[in-house]
Amino acid sequence: MFIAEIKSMLKQVLRKLLLPVLYQFYYKPNQNKIRVTRDGKPLKPGISAVVAARDEEYTITMCLESLIEVADQIICIDNGSTDQTLKLMYAFKEKYGSKLKIDVLEMPGALLGDCREAGLKHTEHEWHLRWDSDMVCKTSGPEDMRELRKQVMQDPHPRAIQLPRTNLMGDLRHTYNTPDKVVDPGEPILISFGKDIFYKEYGKFDAIRVPFYYKQVKEDKRHYFHLSGLKSANNLLHRWFYFEWRNEVNKYKDQGLPVPAEVEDFARFKTNFAFDRLGTAEPMAVKYRFLRQFTSPLALYEIAQFGEYPQVVANKIEDGDNRFEVVYKDGKPFLRTDRNDLEFASYKPSNEDVAWNVDSYFERMKKLYS
């Protein structure tokens, strides 16, 4: 960890030293060749938002509608959804396609990195917004995302802007029980588009990489909410397995080693991983225990402390939406219900499920990842 921090500090220093030189002698003379689409066409003024999704029917409409006056182009990428996500993308295009350009790409089975690359390939505007289907813009008040849009249009210098965010978890009324997790610094997701940017995977996740002539900017205002835990249990489990699997695969690939068969086989990896973490591989028991640990560290979202909801989220609450609901036991968050998951609603936890200890699970995870 210490070595990684030193490398990061050196990189920041090097960036500050090289930025003015590269900007003046490389970027400015060549910007007409750099600021182009992937097929070499001039970029249009405005923002292209890329939204990749898989089984996100609950949040996808809120996500897309919040972008209507923020983006000039929305590139929707469906990664093989089995719910209504793709249908809702096409419905959004049908409803709002006259107001802005909307592309819907179907990429079932593609890796997330492939989806990111497709987003770059289809970007037509000067700004690339790496968005996710569980992100929702604020469109009112002092943190209105449209105000940030106005600001970035006025500065031609290539930049990567890091946007902090507010997180909801479990349902629309809950978040983490520690303030440092309710609000986090986010990552660079609003990027001046050009031929020199690309995505790179790092362990579980991916990040956009920009050249040294880009300014690195950290925005103070929280212009969006991350509805990170408002997914079906099946989707949450898939993401848990998928990111851990990708981390293992990349660990071997980064060392130039062959990926072991039990890691390469995603289905086998999921079974082994579930048993190792939760003590069972039986699907319904896995779901029950996963939701126990998922719900345990939650608390009610406090508007007075963390700010107003985005308008589309506030509307959903006012409409009485209660698909997801955190359930309490002995005054503490215990489980989460999903009124669309009829199979889980009828599940009767076994004695082993009931005896499964959440605190012991977290202690073990703390030791495992320390």
CA angle, corner 60, sides to 57 and 66, nearest 5?
A: 155
pLDDT of res. 323: 95
pLDDT of res. 262: 87
Q: How far apart are CA 321 and CA 229, in angstroms?
A: 16
pLDDT of res. 203: 62
Closest CA to 231 of 351, 356, 349, 132: 132
pLDDT of res. 2: 59
Rounding to the nearest 10 degrees, give the CA dihedral for residues 311, 326, 168, 88: -60
Q: Which helix (H) or strand (E) element contains residue 189?
A: strand 183-192
pLDDT of res. 199: 87
Mean pLDDT by 10 residues, the chain (370 residues): 68 84 92 95 97 95 97 97 96 97 95 88 97 96 96 91 97 96 95 92 76 94 95 94 89 89 92 95 97 97 96 95 94 96 95 95 88
pLDDT of res. 112: 79
Do residues 298 and 328 make contact, with C-beta atoms less than 8 angstroms apart? no
pLDDT of res. 17: 86
Backbone angles phi, psi at 85, to 5 degrees: -55, -50
Joined together, the tokens standing for residue 290 give 């996963």
Q: How far apart are CA 6 and CA 12, in angstroms?
A: 10
